[in-house]
Amino acid sequence: MALIVQKFGGTSVGSIERIKKVAERVARTRREGNDVVVVVSAMAGETDRLISLAHEICKVPDEREYDILVSTGEQVTAPLLAMALKSLGIKAKSFIGFQIGLFTDRAHTKARIVKIETDRIKKELSEGAVVVVAGFQGITEEMEITTLGRGGSDTTAVALASALGADLCEIYTDVEGVYTTDPNICPRARKLKKISYDEMLEMASLGSKVLQTRSVEIAKKYGVPVMVRSSFVDAPGTLVTKEDEEMEKVLVSGVTYNKNEAKISVTRVPDRPGIAARLFGPLAERNINVDMIIQNISHDGYTDMTFTVSKEDFQKALEIVKETAKEIGAEDVIADTEIAKVSVVGTGMRSHSGVAAKMFQALAREGINIMMISTSEIKISCVIDAKYTELAVRTLHDTFELHKEGGRIEEER
């Protein structure tokens, strides 16, 4: 008998019919003799509906109130699933954050889980109940309701799996697993059987919407095996797990893209020590994540700074940066929202060279200009004009022969 955490995303619980299907899936796992904890997202479209209500009230809603509002999405799905399970003769109880002691920090709208009290869940499991948890939300020590950001239910699931010492965390979603790239863009995309935490982390943070970054970080930190699989098709998914030898042989595992970033450039910044801190400090204070940062070489004591933020944070970031730019005597602030970030990811890069050059050549062959470049041990990202996104993805997928299983390494032999 195993303890399994199953998470179902928004489209998986997008209608009453689908919630009933999910109940059948959970019931099967339970009847096989497993203890089951289920984490659910809001029904597809519900979170957006709630957000638009907030935006009808005011342009920049108070974040504390926003969290109380949007956390209701999951609070609707969880009891509906528990009811559906009961209809199938399965004992089930649903819970929201405060009831099971799912504590987070105080960063409203993008809080991080700091502690999960497992007593209540363990008690319910020991009494034979399936425990259904509303994902995406928690409470602070001061009993304030918080949410974990888009995709936060993944994090709820992995954090629960870790806290409970679960044998497996299954993420049921609307795709069959993790692909070499987005199959909607590239028909030759191939489903991966296995992927390392680090690769998944780069894929997730680079825009592949399969798993929330934070959830993969927690899975990696605590060694939680995560299976990504389809709610709709009964097929094996992709196992996100520890790196092994086989993985290291692979040069590039996937190509990802992200159209949800915007670029901000601050021109003619006086190049003094501490100027970067001066520019990015106020953004960090407001909990705005800056992704890529580029600082060009200095001319006459002035430099240009360019960075990207998510489109959600863009307006807020722009206001803050304009303010700071004035204070530090920069010339101008230039924004561009029509950009995309295209990346190649692979554990094998750690021990193989030449991937970057190959990527740049492939993009150049198609006449795609590269605006920004950033690299890590296992990924290379380029910011390009958004209109070339699909072309770039397909070109890179072909260049690294990702349609072939294991074919990604052949070139290097």
Contact residues for a second copy, defined by CB under 8 A? 16, 19-20, 50, 53-54, 56-58, 61-62, 64-66, 68-69, 71-72, 75-76, 78-80, 82-84, 86-87, 93-94, 96, 98-99, 143-145
Q: CA–CA separation, 345 vs 376, rounded Å?
A: 9
Q: What's the chain's Rg over C-alpha atoms? A: 22
Is the CB of 59 or the CB of 413 nearer to a second copy?
A: 59
Q: CA–CA separation, 141 vs 106, rounded Å?
A: 9
Closest approach of Cβ 34 to a second copy, in Å?
Answer: 22
Could you identify the residue written with the tokens 């597809």?
44
Closest approach of Cβ 201 to a second copy, in Å?
Answer: 33
Is the CB of 139 or the CB of 317 nearer to a second copy?
A: 139
Closest approach of Cβ 309 to a second copy, in Å?
Answer: 24
Is the CB of 85 or the CB of 288 nearer to a second copy?
A: 85
| Residues paired with 229 in a beta bridge | 172
Is the CB of 85 or the CB of 345 nearer to a second copy?
A: 85
119: enclosing H helix or E strand:
helix 119-126
Report whether 7 contacts 26 (CB < 8 A). no
Closest approach of Cβ 35 to a second copy, in Å?
Answer: 20
Q: Which amino acid is at 340?
A: A
Q: CA–CA separation, 148 vs 75, rounded Å?
A: 14
Q: What angle do CA 156, 159, 164 make, to 5 degrees?
A: 120
Is the CB of 25 or the CB of 86 nearer to a second copy?
A: 86
Q: How many CA atoms lie within 13 A of 222 on its CB side?
A: 20
Is the CB of 86 or the CB of 209 nearer to a second copy?
A: 86
Is the CB of 93 or the CB of 220 nearer to a second copy?
A: 93
Closest approach of Cβ 137 to a second copy, in Å?
Answer: 11
Side by side, the strands of the sheet bearing 332-336 are: 290-295, 302-310, 261-270, 332-336
Q: Which amino acid is at 103?
A: F
Q: CA–CA separation, 288 vs 109, rounded Å?
A: 11
Q: CA–CA separation, 156 vs 162, rounded Å?
A: 10
Residue 186 has which token pair? 């590239």
| Residues paired with 212 in a beta bridge | none
Closest approach of Cβ 77 to a second copy, in Å?
Answer: 9
Closest approach of Cβ 130 to a second copy, in Å?
Answer: 12
Q: CA–CA separation, 207 vs 375, rounded Å?
A: 15
369: enclosing H helix or E strand:
none
Is the CB of 140 or the CB of 389 nearer to a second copy?
A: 140
Closest approach of Cβ 84 to a second copy, in Å?
Answer: 5
